[in-house]
Amino acid sequence: MLSKKTKYAINALVYLAREQSKAPVQISKIAESERIPRKFLEAILLDLRNAGMLSSRKGKTGGYYLLKSPDEINIAEVVRLFEGAIALLPCVAHKYYERCEECKNEEVCGIRDVFADVRNETVNMLKNATLSNILERERTLENDSAEKS
């Protein structure tokens, strides 16, 4: 299960992707639109900026904006930033590998093999879920919903 911090980060990034061609967006506007507590959002946006996904501008017309294009930011990056490993077992984690204490032989462990497949599929799906992809899915869902009405 994703933490609120990760969900809020994704919501803020999608919001900024929608506003990409416009001027930087103030924290208060993102917080209000996405129903994110402002203080919490400030910390999240700072983490995203430090990770190179966002930049900010100070002053009256300041705010946050995407540093990368929406098709360059994927959900795998965001999840790893706020959650750490995507893998469900430490022995199959790519960036956070740890040997399982109870494992007798990793090379022939069927449990590890199953969870490696789960990790690989999950990572592929999250890497393909870019901000652009999410916006396209929203448009498709809105069109489908409008056609049903």
What CATH number is attached to the domain comprising 33?
A: 1.10.10.10
Give me 61's structure tokens.
Answer: 């017309």
Segment 14-49, tens digit of pLDDT: 999 998 877 899 999 999 999 999 999 999 999 999
In a domain, 54, yes or no: yes
Question: DSSP character for 55?
Answer: E
User: Both 60 and 98 in a single domain?
Assistant: no
Give me 49's structure tokens.
Answer: 């900026």
Q: Residue 147 pLDDT more than 80?
A: yes
In a domain, 62, yes or no: yes
Q: Where on the phi/psi map is residue 136: left (φ > 0), alpha (ψ -120 to 50), or beta?
A: alpha
Query: What is residue 102's predicted lDDT score, i.e. its pLDDT?
Result: 87
**What's the whole-number mean pLDDT along residues 88-98?**
88
Give me 47's structure tokens.
Answer: 């983490």
**What's the whole-number mean pLDDT along residues 50-61?**
91
User: Both 86 and 50 in a single domain?
Assistant: no
Q: Residue 148 pLDDT more than 90?
A: no
In a domain, 20, yes or no: yes
**Helix or strand (DSSP H, E) at 6:** helix 4-18
Domain containing residue 62: 4-66
Q: Residue 149 pLDDT more than 80?
A: no
In a domain, 47, yes or no: yes
C-alpha distances out from residue 5 to 31, 36, 139, Å: 13, 10, 25
In a domain, 137, yes or no: no
User: Both 82 and 50 in a single domain?
Assistant: no
Query: How far, in Å, CA of 46 to CA of 117, rounded?
Result: 33
In a domain, 48, yes or no: yes
3-class DSSP state for residue 86?
Answer: coil
Segment 56-75, tens digit of pLDDT: 999 888 899 999 999 999 99
Number of domains observed in the structure of the chain: 2
Query: What is residue 144's predicted lDDT score, i.e. its pLDDT?
Result: 85
Of 121, 25, 21, the residue nearest 11 (C-alpha): 25
User: Both 52 and 79 in a single domain?
Assistant: no
